[in-house]
Amino acid sequence: MYFDQSGLAVVGNAETSEIGMESEYIQTQCVLADGGDRFGVCALAFDPNEELLWMGNQGGHVTSYYGGAMQKYTSFQVHATQDIRHILPIDEGLLILTAGMLRCQIRRGIPVFTHTSPNLTEMQCMLQLSPSRFLLAGHQDKMIDFNISLCKETALVDVGESGCVMLRGHGRFVCAGDPLGRIDLRDPNTLKVEHTLETHSGSLSDFDVQGNLLVTCGFSSRQGNLSVDRFLMVYDLRMMRAVSPIQTVLDPLYLRFLPSLSSRLAVVSAIGQAQLVDTVALSEPRLCLLQMENPGAMCLAFDTCSTSQALAFGDNAGSIHLFSATSDPVFNTYSRITEHADPVTHFPSFAIDDYETPLSIVPLPIINTDMPLASDWPEHLMQKCYRKSQPIDPEILRAMKMQGPIGYAPNPKATRRNQVAYNLETNGSRTLTKSTQENRTIKQLADEGGNFVAIPKRYRKVDLKYTKLGNEEMQFDQFNKTSLPGLEATLPNSYCNTMIQVLYYTEPLRASLLSHLCIKEFCLSCELGFLFHMLLTSQGTPCQPGNFLRAFRTVPEASALGLIVSDLNPEAKQKLDLGGLIQNWNRFILHQMHVELLETKKRKEENKTNKKPFIYKETDFPTIMGSQGKRTTDVTKIEEEKQEEESEISQLFGTKQLQMNCCLKCGFEVRKETFLLACNLIYPTNEPEKDEWSFCDILKRSLCPQQTTPAWCDQCTKFTPTSQARILQALPKLLSVNTGLHNPQHKQFWQNQMDKVVAKVINNESARSTTPNLLVTSSKPCRYGDNCSRPGCRFRHSFDNATVPQAPVNNLYCSNNWLPHQIRITLKGQNLLIANLDREKEQAQGGGGDQIKTDITDSREYTLTAVVCFVNDQISSEKQNLVALIKVPETYLADGKDAKVDVQQWFLFNDFSIYPIPPQEVVWFSLDWKVPCVLYYSTKEVTDVRSDIVSGLTKDVFTQDQCIARSGGTRGVTFTPLAQSEMPKPGELVAMDAEFVTLNQEESELRSDGKMSTIKPSQMSVARITCIRGQGSLEGTPFIDDYISTQEQVVDYLTKFSGIKPGDLDANFSSKHLTTLKSTYTKLRFLQDSGVVFVGHGLKNDFRVINLVVPPEQVVDTVFLFHIPHHRMVSLRFLAWHFLGMKIQSETHDSIEDARAALQLYRRYKALEADSKLAEALSELYERGKSLNWKVPAD
């Protein structure tokens, strides 16, 4: 027996795999039950009448879940202290058994009755004999016959001192099992013992009955000790004797017959493994194993549904695992309709100060039209009144010349084109509607003396002007004069571009992710590694993070934290707090990468060493030991012995902390070691405002917080005042800080501290702040007006006269900043000392700051390397933006293009717009528009160390390819895989073509000149990728022809241009070779890393959508080979017809056909070039194309 990559036990030879393994059931759901953070799941039951799964935990709580999606249906508390022992769904409702109580409730959660009795002692199980008759038993010498119609106990039956802990129904008997391994077969009417079966010599763990077979599992007594019996005892109830036992590969603890399959049996171990065995075909069975996803948890409950399509497991960690044989399992063959809560009627509502929404959106009752309404206006107020036109500008009247009755004058450029100012004349205070406020110009806001502050161009959100070809013709060089790559922001959730740039310029993290590769489909660490490889090879060209954002949208934790932003809800997008969102994203991505890298590390270790065998302990099975076997857990001991496993993320970002919780009543203390990946700044609230706080003081109280709050005390068994404190034990290499400036109070605190720093300098040195110099601009107005996005534009704009906040060196707020560039953090025992190295000399002269002595535990110096800022545009919420200020390491600036960059290497990253900035600008903040969100402080171990990168891509990516289509995709295999001798070599040709589908429609608007302008291009997703051999005996034969599965909604399959039909990308219906995008992407990456030359037509757009950056020397694009400068591009169809005499793409597109045509065209090009006839052939091509209007003749 060995363990495979997923952790499952497999019988056979690890090299030869003599016995295969099939997967009939897969885990489709894993939910944390109510109270799962404190109590384990100890009872599970599928409802035989409705599509419900019932759960009971050790805290006396019951919850139901609807359907295979595990949608929570009802949840209620049954008992305050006793755990749930058994749940029995009946026709009228639900019977719930605890240790000393029987509760009946309807499925909606309303109690019907509660039965308690002195006879109910340590109850364990129950069984329904008739619609009104039930048997109750447990760890006592009596079995109770209970009548639910009378709600009373009708009889007591003696079962012996060992009691009865299991009851199973049969057509002829009532099967009752005791903990000592004996099963009594009783008459259903008299409850007298008819037969007795002695099953196991130690104790009985579980048994089940179906048809004429009774199967048991338990423990055997060997040399005075209990050991798990790996043989299932099988008894024939017709002969009342044992037949051949069934051997299992795991230690059985629970077993259930699959109701719809009379011979199949599910056997479950304590560690969550399950094996499906057959009671009939015992010779050479095909092994089928299942494994819960929660490692280290113990299975406490198990049940199967009546259709055998779903299996449910409950563990002591509070999770419920649902395994199903189909994607949409049905619990019962004929389930009645479940009664759901009536939907709440939502009436339309709007704000009381909203003057634009008409009252007619609120429906009114039918009233008599003859009666006047209270809202009717009097007639004297219903007169039509027209707004007076604005007077003509005196400048126009002065310069106007008359030509007959017509006057003409030059435009003074005082207003925008096609706009007329709409000023409301008021006496006193001014009241403006929302639309009026948005339409006011910048000049109006500045003249009115408001709080408007113009934002520098480099910080403003860049609005791209798309052409009819989308962003293919965008000239990104005007936004980036460096060799550093940027990121496009055209896709949803592109707000995280700033943090992606920060992570990319963190050298150890970049090296770890570039070396990471796992088998998980939607792994954010893998996708970040792929994206970092694009940035590494792009040479300053912006990259599109489409694949990463695609995987990001599928992570359930990201959706639960509200990190997924949809473009379909513009109102919610306007209310979005980008500053808080990016801080939550920072904390999420660090934790997600830590978990993913840790899983990969564990998987590699499991492949090297086998797991230890399961060891039985009596204290782990309270069902067998009764009340004496209850586990008493020492919380302090468990928390002290538990250690956090480390990954590359925790080694880099992890701040080791000792968390101490002390009950202020009983003194019970719990200690726990944790790793803090991101620190949230905690600002003082009760301290007087006049107190001066340094950034080091705030960081210190945030790293070592102390508070008193009500918390649960296991010693007092209730919520008590608890002192909570954290003590640092080890410092991180990179300190990630979330500023937490979400509310005005925190922003005001930060502003007050900056003002106090400057005021202190003015008082001490009598310094005078100078006014920032404005840029000298031309008096001639800019033709683009305020929409101008050209960097360094010298023409006049309306916002040029406004106060433009800059960061001049002579500004006191820049030279005396509150946020330091360098800090030192020192651990001195349990004390934490933080010093500002920017002012260390000043503090040493004045005797202030933290005094560092020799008896220190750890001391590190940190340098500010990244700041993520929220740019708050007060004019329009749609133009709010996030930017990153990053100190780029010298290793990233190897290109001579950046030779003149300042040695400080600070750059402003605004998506694909990148500017070098001085260090003073990094720590200068104007909180009315530039708000710091995330800070990264790094040690020299991070900034000065060059990490090695080991690529995880090997030729195994071609052998690990699997088809995920339910049909197996055998009918759709159109390629011949590469043999070992055909592995690509540098310089070899590979013809490639890709097909795409559309995920959203293009957004356009009609301009005033009648032309269409693209506001947002359509979002494309790769649907099919084909690669063809370019040499050898199989030249022209595909070795990759993958259809890419997608879970997102496809708006347009573009069947005419792609050949993709509905259902081709659905694993349930596709007959093609369907695979994941990650699987195909790794194969393309391996080809690129191998140095092959890709041949195709229009590969630039293909690689962009696929998110692959290929060096130009590895790309041969026929669209440029057969092209004369300053002329149109020629289609592949016309080129194939003209040069090859082939007619392709007649009805639809086929990527195999297109790739072959591109390869043949390249061969034709090389032949023409060798014969020196290329120029003549191109001239003939364009002449013939113009004569035919670039259309292939029909005949």
User: How many C-beta neighbours within 10 Å does residue 528 have?
Assistant: 27
Buried b (16+ CB within 10 A) or exposed e, 563-599: bebeeeeeeeeeeeebbbbbbbbbbbbbbbbbebbbb
Structure tokens at 809: 């060196």
Residue pair 1040/1076 in contact by the 8 Å Cβ criterion: no
Residue pair 838/695 in contact by the 8 Å Cβ criterion: no
Q: 1070 Cβ partners below 8 Å, 6+ apart?
A: 965, 966, 967, 969, 972, 1043, 1045, 1063, 1064
Structure tokens at 1062: 């509905």
DSSP string, 721-759: EEEEEEEEEE--SEEEEE----SHHHHHHHHHHHHHHHH
- The length of the chain is 1195
User: How many C-beta neighbours within 10 Å does residue 243 have?
Assistant: 12
Is residue 1102 annotated as involved in ligand binding? yes
For residue 573, the surrounding DSSP H or E stretch is: helix 570-574
Residue pair 547/491 in contact by the 8 Å Cβ criterion: no
DSSP string, 928-946: TTEEEEEEEEE-HHHHS--
Q: 372 Cβ partners below 8 Å, 6+ apart?
A: none
Question: Could you identify the residue written with the tokens 């004429």?
Answer: 212
Structure tokens at 63: 């919850």
776 — phi, psi (to 5°)?
-80, 120
DSSP string, 670-691: EEEEEEESSEEP---SSS-TTS
User: How many C-beta neighbours within 10 Å does residue 526 have?
Assistant: 25
Residue pair 1021/996 in contact by the 8 Å Cβ criterion: yes
Residue pair 155/172 in contact by the 8 Å Cβ criterion: no
Q: How far is CA 446 from the centre of its chain?
A: 43
Computed on alpha carbons and rounded to an integer, the radius of gyration of the chain in Å comes to: 37
From residue 170, alpha-carbon distances to 145, 185, 532 in Å are 17, 9, 63
1101: left (phi over 0), alpha (psi -120 to 50) or beta: alpha
Q: How far is CA 207 from the centre of its chain?
A: 42
- The CA distance from 331 to 315, in Å, is 21
- The CA distance from 968 to 1073, in Å, is 8
Look at residues 69, 862, 781 and name the one whose alpha carbon lies nearest to residue 413. 781
Q: 771 Cβ partners below 8 Å, 6+ apart?
A: none
Residue 706 CA neighbour count, 13 Å, CB half: 6
Q: 3-class DSSP state for residue 840?
A: helix
Look at residues 678, 708, 681 and name the one whose alpha carbon lies nearest to residue 697. 681
Residue pair 943/889 in contact by the 8 Å Cβ criterion: yes
Is residue 184 annotated as involved in ligand binding? no
Is residue 229 annotated as involved in ligand binding? no
Structure tokens at 41: 């799941």
Q: Angle at CA 788, nearest 5°, toward 782 and 794?
A: 50
Is residue 993 annotated as involved in ligand binding? yes
β-pair partners for 1075: 1044
Residues annotated within a binding site for a divalent metal cation: 993, 995, 1102, 1154
Residues annotated within a binding site: 993, 995, 1102, 1154
